[in-house]
Amino acid sequence: MSIWRVILAILFPPLAVIDKGCGSVVITFLLTLAGWVPGVIAALVILNKSGC
């Protein structure tokens, strides 16, 4: 996880997880619509996952 990804996850969470698959983008987008903080947390968790 690079520093640029972390900054992007803070500014616009769905864009940070765009290469992790469509499901991750949709979940992060919906959580961002519900509130900015849940979207950021989801993006950081997805980016921190090892593998995939």
Supply the pLDDT for residue 51.
Answer: 57
Q: Per-residue pLDDT tens for 1-52?
A: 789 999 999 999 999 999 988 999 999 999 999 999 999 999 999 999 855 5
The pair of three-digit structure tokens given for residue 35, joined into one six-digit string: 């509130």
- pTM (2 decimals)? 0.87
| Domain parsing of the chain, residue ranges | 3-48
Q: Per-residue pLDDT tens for 25-35?
A: 999 999 999 99
Instruction: Tokens 């765009």: give the residue.
Output: 18
Q: Are 40 and 17 in contact (CB under 8 A)?
A: no
